[in-house]
Homo-oligomer: A and B are copies of this chain.
């Protein structure tokens, strides 16, 4: 569920464009007006505003915004104003240029979007960068990272609910064998994760847990996870835990993130937010990315997960860690909690 709210009485796109143009005019910029409009329009509405703005004022709205705004606030407004496919293309391109183990944008785009949305991002990448995502990812990565990332960003997974149970069993066995032998970049393991539908993968991981998770009840305390939480994690947990073998291994971290993104994206995003907020100096890059990419999709569920895990509402945590227009923009997108 989205957190984005749109006013019941919506001004038309021409009016919004005019207001935005006014917000940029004269001395100083009216940041509040910009937030009021852009943080409360859906993708189709924002697209229309951008089109009307260009035809009326002869300038791209995003360029005008970039001129007027700065720093984290600029990035938040810019990212949210973008069409979702263009935004993903933009984030993916950024990630290929400065690929690091802390940058999970590619995994998020490849594994939490629908197959159709991932394809639209690939199409937007063509028109924005005159290249393909997979071309850049393959060119800028090597070894195990490349083996995992290229098929993920190239995937077009089947999205129906059909499950093949015998396949789930045989592939759970393969996964268990590979993980037991620490063959985390084995091509069979990657094949299963990169090509199977999310429903099929869910069945496989469920079987993995049932078949190979006998000793698992001991595990939660070790990892500080309450038993109640543990149950909702069940399907996922055993395999994720098996992959904890070497917490310093960045490739393993990426593999764990991949599986979380594919099987329970709201838990994955909760953790990204938690790590971005609970540290010395906020990780604004991650915070902005998650809020702007999920506000229109499932940020409500991520908020619920965040509260359940941290006993603090997400908006309060963000308010404590950020300030100024950047804080305002994020809070408008996240929505205030009732708590």
A126 contacts the other chain (CB 8 A): yes
Interface size bracket, A side: 20 to 34
B154 and A156 within 8 A (CB): yes
Q: What is the CB-to-nearest-CB distance from A168 to chain B, in angstroms, rounded to a whole number?
A: 13
A159 contacts the other chain (CB 8 A): yes
A126 and B195 within 8 A (CB): no
B191 and A156 within 8 A (CB): no
Closest chain B residue, CB of each to CB of A119: B119
**Distance A278 CA – B132 CA, assembled complex (angstroms):** 40
A185 contacts the other chain (CB 8 A): no
Chain B residues contacting A160 (CB-CB under 8 Å) are 126, 130
**Distance A131 CA – B198 CA, assembled complex (angstroms):** 11
Chain B residues contacting A154 (CB-CB under 8 Å) are 134, 151, 154-156
A191 and B138 within 8 A (CB): yes
B187 and A135 within 8 A (CB): no
A158 and B146 within 8 A (CB): no
**Distance A155 CA – B156 CA, assembled complex (angstroms):** 10
Chain B residues contacting A135 (CB-CB under 8 Å) are 157-158, 195-197
Contacting A119 at CB < 8 Å: which of B150, B156, B158, B187?
B156
Chain B residues contacting A195 (CB-CB under 8 Å) are 132, 134-135, 138-139, 150
B130 and A162 within 8 A (CB): yes
Q: What is the CB-to-nearest-CB distance from A328 to chain B, in angstroms, rounded to a whole number?
A: 39
Q: List which A98-123 residues lie within 8 A (CB) of chain B.
A: 115, 119, 122-123
**Distance A194 CA – B194 CA, assembled complex (angstroms):** 17
Chain B residues contacting A162 (CB-CB under 8 Å) are 130
**Distance A323 CA – B163 CA, assembled complex (angstroms):** 45
Q: What is the CB-to-nearest-CB distance from A171 to chain B, in angstroms, rounded to a whole number?
A: 9
**Distance A158 CA – B191 CA, assembled complex (angstroms):** 24
Closest chain B residue, CB of each to CB of A190: B138
Contacting A132 at CB < 8 Å: which of B122, B130, B134, B158?
B158
Chain B residues contacting A122 (CB-CB under 8 Å) are 156
**Distance A151 CA – B156 CA, assembled complex (angstroms):** 12
**Distance A146 CA – B147 CA, assembled complex (angstroms):** 12
A157 and B138 within 8 A (CB): no
A157 and B130 within 8 A (CB): no
**Distance A126 CA – B199 CA, assembled complex (angstroms):** 14
Q: What is the CB-to-nearest-CB distance from A154 to chain B, in angstroms, rounded to a whole number?
A: 4
Most buried by B among A122, A156, A196: A156
Q: List which A141-176 residues lie within 8 A (CB) of chain B.
A: 146-147, 150-151, 154-160, 162
Contacting A139 at CB < 8 Å: which of B131, B151, B159, B191?
B191
Q: What are the interface flags for A177-205 relative to B under an 8 Å C-beta threshold, 1 for contact and 0 otherwise? A: 00000000001000100111100000000
5 contacts between A and B (CB under 8 A): A115-B126, A119-B156, A126-B160, A135-B196, A150-B195
Instruction: Give the interface of A toward B (CB within 8 A).
Output: 115, 119, 122-123, 126, 130-132, 134-135, 138-139, 146-147, 150-151, 154-160, 162, 187, 191, 194-197
* 3 A-B pairs with the lowest CB-CB distances in the bound complex, closest first: A154-B154, A135-B195, A138-B191
